[in-house]
Amino acid sequence: MADLIKAKEPFRFYARLSLSELTGLRAANLGQLLGLIREVPGASIYHHTHRFLQQHQYLSPEPPNDFAYWVSDILGEDELGERLASIDTTQFLNIHSLREKIIQTIESYLKENPAASLRFAREGDEFHFIKSVSFILPTKYVVYDLEEFKEVIEKITIDSIYFHIFEARLRLEKKTNDFSNWIENSLGNKRLADKIAQMDPYTRTLEDLRKTLIQIIEKKLLV
């Protein structure tokens, strides 16, 4: 095993916990959904495109967002559901551009299929807009090298992994994730940083993401 490189700056793990706030806004058809997607706070778009990952972390990674699930399962618009589900969330650096993409996707579908606007959800099945209130706070875990880093990854909460990968890259508009950022800038290992940054976090469950991260680091530690 190669000597472990000590970091210039240690990595501190943060915990990220969230509380769901109801906006009181609900949609019963595609037109209403579209109108509300335009006006709800960014924290609501974030909630509906990321919540599923956290709540269903052990299940299959699909469906990736609440809009896709509702459009397919409640309105029966499978094709639009598929288009919404396949939006590549990793491409978007901020909620604003992700929101625009969702709007465009629904608008163009409605243009091609005007009859779709006539479908209504049954009473009780409306889409309820919720937003995430995030609480971010430092944990006791501070690491200086890859071995320590791996040990913490093995035991830290899923919420923390979620914060360092998802929150960092999208909501806080960072181009990479916190792990890659630290590995590149403080450990000087760009290759490993890139490898981690290349993982598509949106098509995996969070537990799977944890396992993959550990495997990549273990492989590096053995070299």
Partner 1 sequence: MTKIDEYIPIVGESVIDDLKLIAEKLKGKLIQHINSTSVGGGVAEILNRMVPLLRELGVDTRWDLIKGGEQFFEVTKKFHNALHGRQAEINKTDFDIFLETANRNIAELDTSADIVFVHDPQPITLVNKRKENKWLWRCHIDISEPNQKVWSFLREFVIKYDAAVFSAPGFSQKLPIRQFLISPSIDPLSDKNKELPQETIEAVLRKYEIPKDKPIVTQISRFDRLKDPLGVIEAYLQVKKYNDCRLVLAGGGAADDPEGVKVYEEVKERAMVDKDIHILLLKQNDLEINALQRASSVIVQKSLREGFGLTVTEALWKAKPVVATNTGGIPLQIKHKYSGLLCHSVDGAAFAIKQFLNSPEYAKRLGENGREHVRNNFLLTRHLKDYILLFLSLYHNEDAIYL
- Residue 41 binds partner 1, judged by CB under 8 A: yes
- Residue 73 binds partner 1, judged by CB under 8 A: yes
Q: Measure the CA–CA gap between 92 and 17, rounded to whole angstroms.
A: 23
Query: 217: burial class by Cβ within 10 Å (0-12, 13-18, 19+)?
Result: buried
- Residue 131 binds partner 1, judged by CB under 8 A: yes
In the bound complex, what is the minimum distance in angstroms from residue 167's beta carbon to partner 1? 8
The H or E element spanning position 7 is none
Q: Mark the segment that binds partner 1 (CB under 8 A) among 98-106, 110-118, 150-158, 185-193.
A: 150-158
Q: Measure the CA–CA gap between 122 and 98, rounded to whole angstroms.
A: 28
Contacts of residue 177, Cβ cutoff 8 Å, sequence gap at least 6: 164, 165, 168, 169, 196, 197, 201
Q: Mark the segment that binds partner 1 (CB under 8 A) among 28-36, 56-64, 98-106, 111-119.
A: 56-64
- Residue 15 binds partner 1, judged by CB under 8 A: yes
Tell me the CA distances in angstroms from 211 to 85, 208, 215, 218, one per residue in order. Answer: 24, 5, 6, 10
Residue closer to partner 1 (CB basis): 59 or 142: 59
Q: Mark the segment that binds partner 1 (CB under 8 A) among 79-87, 156-164, 183-191, 194-202.
A: 156-164
Q: Measure the CA–CA gap between 90 and 82, rounded to whole angstroms.
A: 17
- Residue 91 binds partner 1, judged by CB under 8 A: no
Residues 190-209 that bind partner 1 (CB under 8 A): none
- Residue 20 binds partner 1, judged by CB under 8 A: yes
Of these, 32, 90, 157, 212, which contacts partner 1 (CB under 8 A)? 157
- Read off φ and ψ for residue 167, nearest 5 degrees: -60, -45
In the bound complex, what is the minimum distance in angstroms from residue 223's beta carbon to partner 1? 29
Task: End-to-end CA distance of the chain: give it in Å, rounded.
Answer: 6
Q: Measure the CA–CA gap between 98 and 51, rounded to whole angstroms.
A: 15
- Residues in touch with partner 1 (CB under 8 A): 15, 17-22, 24, 26, 41-43, 54-60, 73, 124, 126, 128, 130-137, 139-140, 155-160, 171
